[in-house]
Amino acid sequence: MSAKLSTTGPKATASSCSNIAFIKYWGNADQQLRLAASPSLSMNLADLTITATVHFDPALEQDELIMNDVPAEGNAAERVFTHLDWVRRRAGLADRASVITHSNFPTGAGIASSAAAFSALAVAGAAAAGLSLSQAELSALARRGSGSASRSVPDGFCQWLANGSDDDSYATSIAPADHWALCDLVAVVSSEHKQVGSTGGHGLADTSVLQTARLASAQDRFAHCKAALLDKDLATMGPIIEADAVIMHAIMMTSRPPLYYWTPATLEIIHATAQWRADGLPVYFTIDAGPNVHLICEAGYADQVDEAARSLPSVKEVLRSGVGSGTQLVEA
Ligand code: DP6
């Protein structure tokens, strides 16, 4: 595959944040369309961003993807090209495209990047194709590439409700980025590439006998978490986000085949978080589909949490982020 940059044709660049879910998306009502089986709630991460440039070029024979200056092939590239097909179909466009992405966070750190990547890709792709889409349509477009990407399109704190149909399954902002100065400190314990990614994991969720109970109780956790978030009440929200993450991991561990994302270091940080709280530091954890632990606190406590996390020998690095805005079209 050629790594050259296209020089003709419509082109657009968008920049987007990753996000961390307080109430998790795990399992789909429609796996192919990524229609979530339960509602999720998240915060955009201002300091973990990806910029994507999409350039439709009649001279190209095939789509091209360059990630952080390296030409990409295989599954990662196919997933992006399939997403471009959605844009082409909608715009009635046949041209192939070159896609160039840059992330500002270490890609080897085991931090999920699909949310930032597909939200940036949706906004840049739609603009390059000459489509004028609403924020809801852009969020739904991002969702088709990666479910969590739907939540990176709107501003600040976002919800994505369950069981919509293709066009009405999108995320909306429930509060702007400046609503509450929360901080996510990601305690990185492993940067290994996971053997089963989120997409495969979602497909296994229904094989866990616990998923029915999780789905039956998800709306309740979502409603309580949302109310606490709007009230800026971390003491109420914290235990809900911890429970929701652990319940999701219980589904993973009891799926067939099981997915064990936790390592001993993960559990060590879970215990440490409870101890830090007992010592007076208001901090709570959440964990995505990997072993790294996201420590959530108000910004005024971030330095103390950072120091506490770094004091654990198993923590290799700590990435810090405040609350971010929605996807921005940088250049069109
Ligand atoms: C654990 O959005 O990464 O981070 O749609 O297959 O790309 P795909 O899955 P993805 O799943 C996110 C899983 C999670 C929880 C969350 O972000 O809600």
What digits encode the pLDDT tens for the residues 281-300?
A: 999 999 999 999 999 999 99
| 301 CA from centroid of ligand 1 (Å) | 28
Report whether residue 112 contacts ligand 1, using a CB cutoff of 6 Å.
yes
Q: Per-residue pLDDT for 109 more than 90?
A: no
Distance CA 116, CA 68 (A): 14
User: Under a CB-based contact definition with an 8 Å cutoff, are residues 323 and 181 in contact?
Assistant: yes
Residue listed under structure tokens 């969702």: 143
Residue pair 300/153 in contact by the 8 Å Cβ criterion: no
Q: What percent of the chain has pLDDT over 90?
A: 91
Tokens of 96: 């192939």
Residue at token pair 């046949």: 94
Average pLDDT over every residue of 314-330: 97
What is the residue type of 64? E
Tokens of residue 326, six digits: 């929605």
Task: Give mean pLDDT, residues 73-97.
Answer: 96
The per-residue pLDDT for range 35-47, each reduced to its tens digit, is 999 999 999 999 9
Please, are residues 41 and 154 in contact by the beta-carbon 8 Å criterion? no
Distance (Å, rounded) from C-alpha 248 to C-alpha 233?
23
Check pocket membership of 88 for ligand 1, CB cut-off 6 A. no
Reply yes or no on whether the pLDDT at 108 is more than 70. Answer: no
Q: How confident is the model at residue 2 (pLDDT cuts 50, 70, 90)?
A: very low
> Does the structure show a pLDDT above 60 at 7?
no
Does the beta carbon of 144 sit less than 6 angstroms from any atom of ligand 1? no
> Which atom of ligand 1 has the smallest separation from the CA of 148?
2
- Out of 38, 198, 292, mutate this one to test ligand 1's pocket (max ligand atoms within 8 Å of CB): namely 198
Q: What is the b/e burial string over 102-119, where b = at least 16 CB atoms within 10 angstroms of the residue's CB?
A: bbebeeebbbbbbbbbbb
C-beta of 34 in contact with ligand 1 (< 6 A): yes
Cα–Cα distance measured from residue 191 to residue 171, given in angstroms and rounded to the nearest whole number: 29
Is residue 64 predicted with pLDDT exceeding 50?
A: yes
Question: Pairing mode, if any, of strands 96-103 and 64-67?
Answer: parallel
- Average pLDDT of the chain, as a whole number: 94
Q: Look at residue 190 in the predicted model and tell me its pLDDT.
A: 87
pLDDT, one tens digit per residue, over 110-144 is 677 899 999 999 999 999 999 999 999 999 999 99
Tell me what pLDDT residue 106 has: 75
Distance CA 211, CA 104 (A): 35
Is there an atom of ligand 1 within 6 Å of 79 CB? no
Ligand 1: distance of its center to the CA of 6 in Å? 32
Ligand 1 neighbourhood includes 294 CB (under 6 angstroms)? no
Tokens of 249: 């991991």
Please state the atom number of ligand 1 nearest to the C-alpha of residue 199: 6
